[in-house]
Amino acid sequence: MSRERTRRRPQPAAEAPAAPVAPGGLPGGTYKPLSERDVGRILEAARTVLERTGIEVMASPCREVFRKAGCRIDEDANRVHIPGHLIDRALGVAANEVLLAGRTPEHDLVLGGTRVYLGTGGQAVKMLDLDGTVRETRLADNYDIGRLCDTLEHIHFYMRPVVSRDVAIEDIDINQFYACLAATPKHVMANSYLPGSVPSLRMLGEMIAGGANAFDARPPISFTACWTVSPLRYATETVEILDAIVAHRMPVVISSAPQAGATSPAALAGTLVQIMAEQLSGIVYVNLLNPGHPLIVGCVPAQADLRTGAFTGGSAEFTLLNAACAQLSQALRLPIYNSSGISDSKVPDAQAGAEKGVTGLAAALAGSNYIHHSAGFLESLLTVAFEQYVIDNDINGVIMRTLRGIEVTDETLSLDAIDEACRGPGHFLGHPQTLKLMNSEYLYPRFFDRQTRDDWEAKGAQDAREVARAYARKVLAEHFPQVIEPGLDADIRKRFNVLLPREAMRAPG
């Protein structure tokens, strides 16, 4: 496996693209909630925290890795104190870019810099069904949501969205990955519940990719490991899973999710200091295990509503924290996974749209690389809804079109077009430039309504949620992508205990 710190890729052409937005990877980075001085102060404070306060690591092989590297260990308090020179060494070898491959190149994600990709998030425990009822999530939901997202062009990756509440823990890992991989050729990410499952997941990934070397070159799956419990404490069981993922050379996110006012300081700057201390400790640890490992910074800061203590994800503070984390990761020259679109609303309504639009646009403009939770979520991460994925696809499209910005060229300055219209018909509707640019300069939403009221009423006066439900019903009834060819599927089923029935993966009749 290559340990190059960065992967090079061709730069985009200067001329306007042929479509209003790219599949993903447009650059952000124009929104900066922190000044350059603030960025430096926060990162320096995070280093101070690691040397002064340290991070709690119970007696374990993980703690011995830190000890061997020269960290001071407070045995009585179970705290590891990480010196600055180890942080500098880790940052010197850490991967600046990480490839998360799709099954076909158009779905590749090249994380790093300010390139932006938007996709789903994970671990909802409730499904708001198309009939309006709420139920527990199940394995088949991961397949069904995946094939719906397979048709939505502004959802760039597929992170396993729901917990398979109907599957025993020993079977969840293989089955959640399989259900997602069978639904879409987009890149798939999930967690692992058991360290013993990781070798099997590597084997499944190799079967999908076409062998070990093919997997290393183009990994079709990756992992998230929530290896810390804020504030500043390692979760021993999850560290064992992280160790296994690194040992099997698979891309991984180290995810921290403190809540300002509850599990991190009420001061937003203090929350940023704590989350970066947690992240820097993980960067040191993983690069001690395997220098240059395909590692992604995982910052998912949120806040507690201090009136109730409840998690909230649709707030201005959530917006600021996640955008600021993008700036901090860029200063470290490391790829970042963070969040948007976590509405606190219980249904797809005006509140959900407002919270998703604001949080998503801020994270993208800040240049976050892998923005998960951008589609499907309601009720502060507890619930997903089929129709919400459809609505969020159009929100994501608007975000990506905003990222593309305005191209200023000799042609787009439009001097000749202005002169010709003013000397002629007095408008631009039939002008050759308008006809040429109408499908590349403008984004036309697939589901948001732009009809006149008369036309809208004549066609049933459906609101956005009704339109999205109708689309989701049609896709779920008709779209059964054959992403895994039958022979390979049979081999996978022989090797692993796949619980999703074949007949559930075919259209009725």
The span from the CA of 417 to the CA of 410, in Å, is 11
pLDDT tens digits, 372-420: 999 999 999 999 999 999 999 999 999 999 999 999 999 999 999 999 9
User: What is the set of domains in the chain, with CATH numbers?
Assistant: 26-32+92-404 (3.20.20.480)
pLDDT tens digits, 70-83: 999 999 999 999 99
Q: Which two tokens stand for residue 27?
A: 């650059």
Structure-model confidence comparison of residues 236 and 3, the more confident one: 236
- Exposed, middle or buried: residue 88 (CB in 10 Å: 0-12, 13-18, 19+)? exposed
The span from the CA of 227 to the CA of 243, in Å, is 10
The span from the CA of 17 to the CA of 20, in Å, is 7
pLDDT tens digits, 107-166: 999 999 999 999 999 899 999 999 999 999 999 999 999 999 999 999 999 999 999 999
| Cβ atoms within 10 Å of 49's Cβ, excluding its own | 22
| Cβ atoms within 10 Å of 387's Cβ, excluding its own | 24
User: What is the band of 2 on the pLDDT scale with cuts at 50, 70, 90?
Assistant: very low
Q: Which two tokens stand for residue 125?
A: 């425990």
User: What is the band of 23 on the pLDDT scale with cuts at 50, 70, 90?
Assistant: confident
The span from the CA of 341 to the CA of 384, in Å, is 12
Tell if the pTM clears 0.75, that is, is over it. Answer: yes
Residues in contact with 179: Cβ distance below 8 Å, sequence separation at least 6, in sequence order: 139, 140, 142, 143, 146, 160, 164, 500
The answer to whether the CB of 155 falls within 8 A of the CB of 375 is: yes
Q: What is the mean pLDDT of the chain?
A: 95
The span from the CA of 297 to the CA of 326, in Å, is 10
E strand segments, 266-342: 295-299, 302-305, 310-312, 336-339
The answer to whether the CB of 164 falls within 8 A of the CB of 126 is: no
